[in-house]
Chain A
Amino acid sequence: ERKRHCSMRFMLLFSRQGKLRLQKWFTSMSDREKKKIIRDMTTMVLARQPRSCNFMQWKDLKIVYKRYASLYFCLGVESQENELLALEIIHRYVELLDKYFGNVCELDIIFNFEKAYFILDEFLMGGEVQETSKQIVNRSIEASDMLQEVRFTDMHAHTHKCT
């Protein structure tokens, strides 16, 4: 009962080999719980036959997953949630990644995993959709990155001076 609070519980990205590439927990959970869920999700989803339907029941949650190239996107939502909406959320996130990285691939997410989180944080928050407009999400990520870039180049110049 304590956990029944937000429509989305977690989002996981993992590869076909079952390697976790991204995890986002929308409710506070202990490491043990997290590990258990990750293990269950990867085994369950990877065991699915190709062209199976994208929804599963797991305990009291609906698991909605979709495979994009070598990556599985897996979203755990409350049982009254709309499965199709969850699929749309996954797809929207992929679109956002694609826009940011330009033809995103698994390696982009591995090497820039913090960016993948930043994008997700502008899109979803606390288990709810934060922004439904793609443009606005993109704009705020760009703006934050600009901020970072300026600081970095500042510092770059600074370190040069020191050496």
Chain B
Amino acid sequence: MALKIVKGSIDRMFDKNLQDLVRGIRNHKEDEAKYISTCIDEIKQELKQDNIAVKANAVCKLTYLQMLGYDVSWAAFNIVEVMSSSKFTYKRIGYLAASQCFHENTDVIMLTTNQIRKDLSSPNQYDTGVALTGLSCFVTPDLARDLANDIMTLMSHTKPYIRKKAVLIMYKVFLKYPESLRPAFPRLKEKLEDPDPGVQSAAVNVICELARRNPKNYLSLAPLFFKLMTSSTNNWVLIKIIKLFGALTPLEPRLGKKLIEPLTNLIHSTSAMSLLYECVNTVIAGQYSCSVGSVCLRISVVKYLGLLAMSKILKTHPKSVQSHKDLILQCLDDKDESIRLRALDLLYGMVSKKNLMEIVKKLMIHVDKAEGTTYRDELLTKIIDICSQSNYQYITNFEWYISILVELTRLEGTRHGHLIASQMLDVAIRVKAIRAFAVAQMATLLDNAHLLTGNMQRNGICEVLYAAAWICGEFSEHLENPVQTLEAMLRPKVATLPGHIQAVYVQNAAKLFATILKNQEGNTDSTAAQETSQLMIDRLPLFVQSANLEVQERASCILQLVKYIQKLQQKDVEVAEEVSALFAGELNPVAPKAQKKVPVPEGLDLDAWINEPPSESESEDEQPKAIFTKEEPKHSRPRHTEVDEKELARRREARKQEQANNPFYIKASPSSQKVYQETPGVEHIPVVQIDLSVPLKVPGLPMSDQYVKLEEERRQKERAEKKKKEKKKRKEKRSGRGKKHDSGPESEEDITPAHVVDIVTEEMPENALPSDDDDKDPNDPHKVCDIQGNLQDGSQVVVSVIFENKSDSFLKSMEFNVLDSLNSKLQRPEGSGPHDGLTVPFQLPPGVSNEARFVFTVQSIVMPQKLKGTLTFIVKDSSTHEKLDFKLHFTCTSYLITTPCYSDAFAKLLESGDLKSSSVRLEGVNMPFHHLLARICFHHHFSVVERIDSCASMYSRSIQGHHVCLLVKTSGQTVSIDAKCDEPTLLGNVLDEIKQTFSQC
């Protein structure tokens, strides 16, 4: 209503007001530029008038034109004029124009200082407000310096409207004129507790922004913010505070613990998605162990952010994300491609043996639906990535996988034919059990090749025929109807395929031919064999004419061979045996690293000169021929030949003696061989026969779905069987061990593969080095064995590390490095960076162990710690850099020093009342009491103060002087330990460790 009056009054006042201008521009769409230039001329005229109302109207129109992209900087002075008007209406327009048009380099700003100061102190709060608002847009360092005091005073204005704006603009002033921060800060801090919520939230905003730029200085405000966080109900303010804490926690880890509760409360109670998201992000960033699972569910409403957050959670809490698989799969239906791609990324990380089939099934549906080849190809590669990751770790049924691959060949226009082909080859070669099935499938593919050959481009789908032909040829003994396949491979249409594929066709037709001959020669009817030869002779000339050299050469070779065979056949000579000999032997896959791992034969020193290098003096002598004569060996060899038998025997004995005493000599034991066999990958997965109730051969039809069903049934059966077994096991397990196993046994492992799956690892040379890139393997050959904490003063811990070289190669240039935590740091020599490793002062011949000591500085000792580290080293023979990851486990026990204590001092200590108590009960400890005490003393560095019957008091002291007192009592198999210590957390952890020691025996 108010607006209409305003409009009406303006209409009558001016020739052309803003509305007219806007309307005019809209009516002059064709010649807008021309129209506007006439308008600007008018405006220039208007600005020359003395009437401030006319000027203000002109400035208002200019502001509009500025938005349209016209330069109005020439009117800057007129804007200042309008700003200076005493009437609010015009002042408002002037400040608006200034905030839109002025920037730091506008020179007239210098003229405004006094005007702004006058407005700031105006009795009308809206004048002040308008000035503050404008200032927030164009404040310069000069203005900030000149007006800082005025603004600071306004922070205590009686009107909250002004206080609020003054607080906010203060932040801009700080940025432009940092010196103002110190004097203004106390007042700003007061505003955190302003009675007006608007002012309060403005102060929170400003301090949060300041603190995020420089968190260290604002740590002292943490309690105040904590109070605000628990009391405020304003979501906008809460978000800011949570952000602030996100910046503070890295500096003060204790804050993290305190935050868990309020954050969890907010997560569960808030209905504001933005606040929820902020909490979750903070939780993830801080890695607080929080009920993340429930959060995911709620956050996933906002798909993109949910997926983003989940990918962060996935790294730390994979299980909680896995339960939201369905939601993530739904995201694949989303119209937005960026969401779909995020979802795909997530899927890759969350497959398991259990859900692989289901996930891939869903993806296959999407492949069918997907529009646009790019996205479809992306899906295709993802499917293959997901299935083949970590050496097919998640595939339990390879028949299913082959059918998936076959289904994928039906994709139109894909550019990943090569990828599919290489997967087919890889699986067929490495999973022996699947070969028969694979061959059958490939034969079908070859038979239906005409369906695929529509796409002839390079890397098109026809590439799979390459794989199909090779598999059918190489494993032809599995073919049910080899003649038919041979026929399919020699069709005239094949000649249209790319050359390299034709070559494989020809070569494998020959292999197939050999197999067929073998089958047919056993029969009485010899004509069949001859017919096969005739087929070859009829069809091969087509390939002999090929323009492709490879095809031509192979075809003509084989053609001549078959012709010769035919001749022999006509003479009734049996040739099959000899023909198959051509293709005898199996081609095995070779690991990409194989060459590197070939051990250097004994006695061969690659670094040594084969012939003595010409010394420099020799080169002067110019005796080139001497190098090729056998002069040099003569110097070294004769000795050996001259010794007699006795001497040899004596020496052998002496050598044995020496070897026995030499710790650096590895005895000829089969141990090194064993290490190899234990390396990962050569697992022989138990063989389970599957009885398939559904016939598998439905050529050319999608059948991967059936596997999903079959797999379900199979697993159910297995589960039922397992349950029976497990019940028995559980009783035994009770006393099982549990130390150092970080994660519980995964249900993943319970799924046994469907059938005779024997993943052939890629072939390695004999005596190859154990694979050194698998750090997690518990049988790791280069194991860091033992860590003992030897304690010096309050903050230093010396760690002895025993390095044992379990491999059979020489390791040198070892570097030991630990990722420092906030609490513990590896001490490095002066001048080295915080991530530099320490050189281990020795080399390790095979089989040898040695000890090195490292000093750590530790701040707090109340919690056990795990430090991650890496050992890098060079394997001498291959001179490759290798690396080994390990974890250093600092138990709380290792911070205790065995310290004797007299019983009266002990009693005084207990009476002092400074100690907090705690207790623990151990059940089923079956050992004499003195053994028990000895164990505690030995493992946990305690000393016995006094012992009376089945009761003993014990004492130990931490490196930081904490007293730890125990009262151990036993009755029957139950041991109770009452303990006191001045640091409850330390005590709790020590007791846990004691408990663990006894649960292991």
Contact = CB atoms under 8 A, between A and B. Distances in A.
A129 to B, nearest CB: 6
A147 to B, nearest CB: 5
A53 B335 CA distance: 9
Contacts of B22: 110-111
Contact of A5 (B126, B175, B197): B175
A87 B89 CA distance: 32
Interface string A96-140: 000001000000001111110110010001101111110010001
B206 interface: yes
B164 interface: yes
Nearest to A85: B274
Interface centre among B129, B137, B206, B305 (most CB of A within 10 A): B137
Contact of A130 (B139, B164, B278, B305): B164
Contact of A84 (B6, B168, B212, B302): B302
A151 B88 contact: yes
Nearest to A147: B88
B198 A53 contact: no
Contact of B89 (A6, A49, A148): A148
A70 interface: no
Contacts of B995: none
B401 interface: no
Nearest to B304: A53
B440 interface: no
B621 interface: no
Interface string A67-102: 000000000000010111101100000000000010
A115 to B, nearest CB: 7
B237 A132 contact: yes
B100 interface: yes
B69 interface: yes
Nearest to B10: A152
Contacts of B274: 82, 84-85, 87-88
B273 A156 contact: no
A129 B205 CA distance: 8
A46 interface: no
Given A49-B336, A84-B273, A7 B209 contact: yes
Contact of B165 (A52, A101, A130, A147): A130
B64 interface: yes
A136 B305 CA distance: 32
A153 B198 contact: no
Nearest to B202: A130
A23 interface: yes
A47 interface: no
A111 B18 CA distance: 7
B53 interface: yes
A49 B336 CA distance: 7
Contacts of A132: 197-198, 201, 234, 236-237
A128 B96 contact: no
Most chain B beta carbons < 10 A, residue from A35, A131, A143: A131
A152 B165 CA distance: 26
Contacts of B3: 101, 112, 115, 145
Contacts of A5: 171-172, 175, 209
Contacts of A151: 87-89
A20 B68 contact: yes
A101 B164 CA distance: 25
Contacts of B129: 140, 144
Contact of A26 (B89, B137, B140, B202): B137
A159 B138 contact: no
A51 interface: yes
B293 to A, nearest CB: 21
Interface in A9-28: 20-23, 25-26, 28
Contact of B336 (A29, A51, A133): A51
Contacts of B273: 84
B71 interface: yes
B92 A148 contact: yes
A82 B239 contact: yes
Chain B, interface size category, equals: 35 or more
Contacts of A111: 18-19, 22
A150 B547 CA distance: 95
Contacts of B73: 31
A135 B758 CA distance: 72
B636 interface: no
Contacts of B243: 80, 82
A84 B2 CA distance: 34
Contacts of A121: 96, 99, 133
Interface in B2-19: 2-3, 5-6, 9-10, 12-13, 18-19
A9 to B, nearest CB: 12
Contacts of B133: 121, 125
Interface string A23-57: 10110111100010000000000000111110100
A5 B170 CA distance: 13
A30 B105 contact: yes
Contacts of B234: 132
A117 B22 CA distance: 16
A29 B102 CA distance: 9
Nearest to B25: A110
B297 to A, nearest CB: 17
Contacts of B93: 114
Contacts of A49: 335-336
Contacts of B105: 30
Contacts of B92: 114, 118, 144, 148
B300 interface: no
Interface in B154-176: 161, 164-165, 168-169, 171-172, 175
B104 interface: yes
A132 B168 CA distance: 13
A149 interface: yes
Contacts of A145: 2-3, 6
Interface in B738-756: none
Contacts of A112: 3
A112 B335 CA distance: 37
A99 B126 CA distance: 21
B304 A55 contact: yes
Nearest to B124: A147
Contact of B63 (A7, A25, A114, A148): A114
B673 interface: no
Contact of A29 (B60, B89, B103, B130): B103
A125 B136 contact: yes
A111 B61 CA distance: 11
Contacts of A84: 273-274, 277-278, 302, 305
A142 interface: yes
A151 to B, nearest CB: 5
Contacts of A152: 5-6, 9-10, 89
Given A5-B172, A121-B96, 12 more contacts: A4-B213, A21-B67, A30-B105, A82-B243, A87-B274, A130-B202, A133-B198, A144-B126, A146-B2, A148-B88, A148-B92, A152-B5
16 contacts: A20-B67, A50-B335, A52-B338, A80-B243, A113-B67, A115-B3, A118-B96, A126-B172, A132-B197, A133-B198, A136-B198, A144-B92, A144-B130, A145-B2, A147-B88, A156-B12
Interface of B: 2-3, 5-6, 9-10, 12-13, 18-19, 22, 53, 60, 63-64, 67-69, 71, 73, 87-89, 92-93, 96, 99-100, 102-105, 124, 126, 129-130, 132-133, 136-140, 161, 164-165, 168-169, 171-172, 175, 197-198, 201-202, 205-206, 209, 212-213, 234, 236-237, 239, 243, 272-274, 277-278, 281, 302-305, 335-336, 338-339
